[in-house]
Amino acid sequence: MEIKAQQFVTSTGRRVLNDNGQQGMGGVSGVGSTTERHQGRVAEAIFANCADLDFGQLDEIIEWVRLYQR
């Protein structure tokens, strides 16, 4: 399965990455509030780095993110 930058959207359907996989709210580079830009940078890192990880490694990353939900 190929993951595309366009799949990284908020709960309201707003894109957080541009077509090149870099941060950009609404698909426009550099756009967004401070927290939206942070969200986009996390999405950017996931898009750029997770394709080659196995399920166990992805599960570990998911657990790290969950640390912030507690």
**Domain-wise residue ranges, the chain:** 5-69
Tell me the pLDDT tens digit for each residue of 42-51. 999 999 999 9
Amino acid found at 38 = H
pLDDT of residue 15: 96
Residue 1 in this model has a pLDDT that exceeds 80: no
Q: pLDDT-based confidence at 70, cuts 50/70/90?
A: confident
pTM: 0.89
Residue 35 in this model has a pLDDT that exceeds 80: yes
Residue 41 in this model has a pLDDT that exceeds 90: yes
Maximum distance among all alpha carbons in the chain? Answer: 33
